[in-house]
Amino acid sequence: MSDTQVKTAPHTHREIMLILSGLMTGMLLAALDQTIVSTALKRIVEDFNGLNHYTWVVTAYLLTSTASTPLYGKISDLYGRRPVFQFAIVTFLIGSFLAGASQNMTQLIATRALQGLGAGGLMALTFVIIGDVVSPRERGKYQGYFGAVWGLSSVAGPLLGGFFSDNSSILGITGWRWIFYINLPFGILALVITSAYLHIPKIKREHKIDYLGAFIMVSAVSIILLALSVFGPERGWTDGRTLTAFAVGALLILGFILQESRAVEPILPLHLFKNRTFTLTSALGFIIGAGMFGAIVMLPLYLQVVKADSATMAGLKLIPLMIGIVSLSIISGKQISKHGHYKRFPIAGALVMTAGLLLLSTLKRDTSYLMLSLFAILVGAGLGLSMQTVVIALQNDVDFKDLGVATSANTFFRTLGGAFGTALFGTIFANRVAHNIAENFAKLAQTQPQAIAGITPEQIKSVTSNTGVIAQFPPIVQENVLNSFVSAFHVVFISAAPFTLTGFFLALFLVEKPLRTSQEHHAARAEAAGESVG
């Protein structure tokens, strides 16, 4: 089917489900690779002797995926959704193949950056395309599927990463390399499906890409993320290089705002921030990302360190979190389609997620898995009520011509919030663990000096970088160390709660507007096409 023959009538349910299958496959690839590497990193750095570059394997992916997200929305507005989405799939697949074939840490870091470049498009354009083919009023029916993808990736990622890394060889190939090779068949499937069914009218328009704005934005995001995820945690937040990076990032942001205010085709049109819904949903996306990534990454760590679960078992025990996300995504979506009201869901979601985080702050060494499951379900339920709903509110409010860039901007702010939350809460956790261990060992030295006889300060300090040494300590010392970790988890979850509570207050200011029906949505798309042609 050519560009001039693409379907112009509203899509049927069957057609939407076929399109969704391709979109969800692509989105699963990107979401999965945010988590699948974490449990395999230990084995990878052992093979490559690259512990000193450990964080860069994650950071390289995070940098390029986050920085490229807004670009994809704008470029797809100019050149069409399908070719840009398929470009992202191909880029991701090339990066995946090369990452699996890497022979050293330098190659792995570079190919992970290429993977991230494709992932940025997969994450952003999935929501943009569904905004094209489904009206806001009907979109709630389908949002549960995307919630299921997020929930599945949050569990399947650590589980698959642990499984592959635990096997030295699978089909004659080193086990951990399969965390990248597994993407290939799914990516090819996504290409086939989108080629066959993703036919969206291409709106032809005169265009001029703001290359300078794109360069400034990518530079600003990259430097700030480096400061948040690498310089700050590794060198200290008051270190001169960290402060310099933040300062340069801030100057680049000012430069970006100046450039966008005068660009003919800005990458991120500043007029969008005059839209109250866009501004609020961007802030909500940032907060959801911070609370979600910052807190949830701690659950597998709690299970592995405090409960001594394997990486695979820790992944399995996150299933209640997925249940919360998927079930409430489906329930809220159906209610939105049925009644047309959406404001209540992010309000309730922020409150439920805050309650879940506060309950997680009560975890102890002997907390039962049943209680942990209930707390995790609450956090997942809060996410399920909030994540897709704010996207519906945004897409219902912005002009159709800005749908791509507005939706990808929301994804961008959520991902940026995730990076910020991960760095912030990770730093809080590391600092509190070090402080608690030092304090508890000082008390132990006064009350039971014989218990730590023969244990050097270096051994004590090594606990913060290698939890494997805990098993080498006497039982009373192990108990002190594990209590130090538990107390640190308390502080992290308590610190995350104000973020999600802020989301509650922001959601109160959302203005609920009638959701566009299929006919109104199709008319808006036709009007945008007519304006661009004229």
Provide the β-strand partners of residue 169: 174
Q: What is the DSSP letter of 274?
A: G
- At residue 224's C-alpha, the angle toward residues 218 and 225, to 5°, is 85
Q: Are residues 176 and 304 in the same domain?
A: yes
What's the domain count of the chain? 2
Gap between the Cα atoms of 467 and 482, Å rounded? 10
Q: What is the DSSP letter of 228?
A: I
Task: Give 4-8's long-range contacts (Cβ < 8 A, gap of 24+).
Answer: 6/199, 6/200, 6/201, 6/202, 7/199, 7/200, 7/201, 8/201, 8/526
Q: Give the number of other CB atoms < 10 A from CB of residue 134.
A: 24
> Which three-class secondary structure state does DSSP give residue 363?
coil
DSSP code string of 468-526: GGGGGS-HHHHHHHHHHHHHHHHHHHHHHHHHHHHHHHHHHT----PPP-HHHHHHHHH
Q: Which of 213, 220, 224, 221 is nearest to 252 (CA)?
A: 220
Q: What is the DSSP letter of 36?
A: T
pLDDT given for residue 516 in this prediction: 62
Asked if 132 and 126 count as a contact pair (C-beta separation under 8 A), the reply is no
Domain-embedded: residue 27: yes
Q: Which of 223, 242, 264 finishes a domain?
A: 264
Q: Give the number of other CB atoms < 10 A from CB of residue 68.
A: 26
Q: Which of 186, 200, 218, 30 is nearest to 115 (CA)?
A: 30
Q: Are residues 188 and 335 in the same domain?
A: yes
Count the helix, strand and coil residues of the chain and give each as a percent rounded to the nearest 5.
80, 0, 20
Q: Are residues 221 and 329 in the same domain?
A: no
- What's phi and psi for 174, nearest 5 deg? -50, 130
Gap between the Cα atoms of 165 and 178, Å rounded? 9
- At residue 464's C-alpha, the angle toward residues 463 and 470, to 5°, is 25
Encoded amino acid at 148, one letter: A
Q: Is 513 left (phi over 0), alpha (psi -120 to 50) or beta?
A: beta
Q: Which of 246, 264, 282 finishes a domain?
A: 264
Gap between the Cα atoms of 357 and 361, Å rounded? 6
Q: Which domain holds residue 529?
A: 3-209+265-438+483-533
Domain-embedded: residue 460: no
pLDDT given for residue 394 in this prediction: 86
Q: Give the number of other CB atoms < 10 A from CB of residue 246.
A: 18
Q: Which residues, other chains included, contact 105 with Cβ-Cβ below 8 Å and sequence gap of 6+? A: 45, 48, 50, 53, 56, 57
Q: Which of 264, 289, 305 finishes a domain?
A: 264
Q: Are residues 75 and 195 in the same domain?
A: yes
pLDDT given for residue 4 in this prediction: 40
pLDDT given for residue 140 in this prediction: 66
> Which three-class secondary structure state does DSSP give residue 200?
coil
Q: Which residues, other chains included, contact 497 with Cβ-Cβ below 8 Å and sequence gap of 6+? A: 354, 357, 358, 361
Gap between the Cα atoms of 472 and 456, Å rounded? 13
Domain-embedded: residue 478: no
> Which three-class secondary structure state does DSSP give residue 362?
coil
Q: Are residues 182 and 109 in the same domain?
A: yes
| Sign of the torsion formed by the C-alpha atoms of 91, 85, 414 and 352 | negative
Q: Are residues 291 and 152 in the same domain?
A: yes
Asked if 137 and 337 count as a contact pair (C-beta separation under 8 A), the reply is yes
In this structure, the strands spanning 173-174 and 169-170 are: antiparallel
pLDDT along the chain (534 residues), means of 10: 47 77 80 73 68 64 78 78 89 92 86 89 81 71 70 74 78 85 87 78 61 84 77 80 92 93 82 90 88 71 82 78 83 82 91 94 91 92 86 81 77 79 77 83 77 70 68 78 89 89 92 69 52 44
Q: Which of 291, 300, 301 is nearest to 346 (CA)?
A: 291
pLDDT given for residue 38 in this prediction: 65
Q: Are residues 158 and 226 in the same domain?
A: no
pLDDT given for residue 501 in this prediction: 92
Torsion of CA 300, 305, 309, 312, to 10 degrees: 40
Domain-embedded: residue 274: yes
Q: Are residues 148 and 255 in the same domain?
A: no
Q: Are residues 190 and 237 in the same domain?
A: no
pLDDT given for residue 2 in this prediction: 42
Residue with tokens 């705002």: 257
pLDDT given for residue 137 in this prediction: 66
Domain-embedded: residue 463: no
Alpha carbons within 13 A on the beta-carbon side of 193: 20
pLDDT given for residue 3 in this prediction: 41
pLDDT given for residue 386 in this prediction: 87
Q: Are residues 154 and 223 in the same domain?
A: no
Identify the CATH number of the domain in which residue 92 sits.
1.20.1250.20
Domain-embedded: residue 160: yes
Domain-embedded: residue 289: yes
- What's phi and psi for 170, nearest 5 deg? -130, 120
pLDDT given for residue 296 in this prediction: 65
Domain-embedded: residue 456: no
The tokens describing 340, both together, are 């047309």
Q: Are residues 386 and 269 in the same domain?
A: yes
Q: Are residues 241 and 366 in the same domain?
A: no
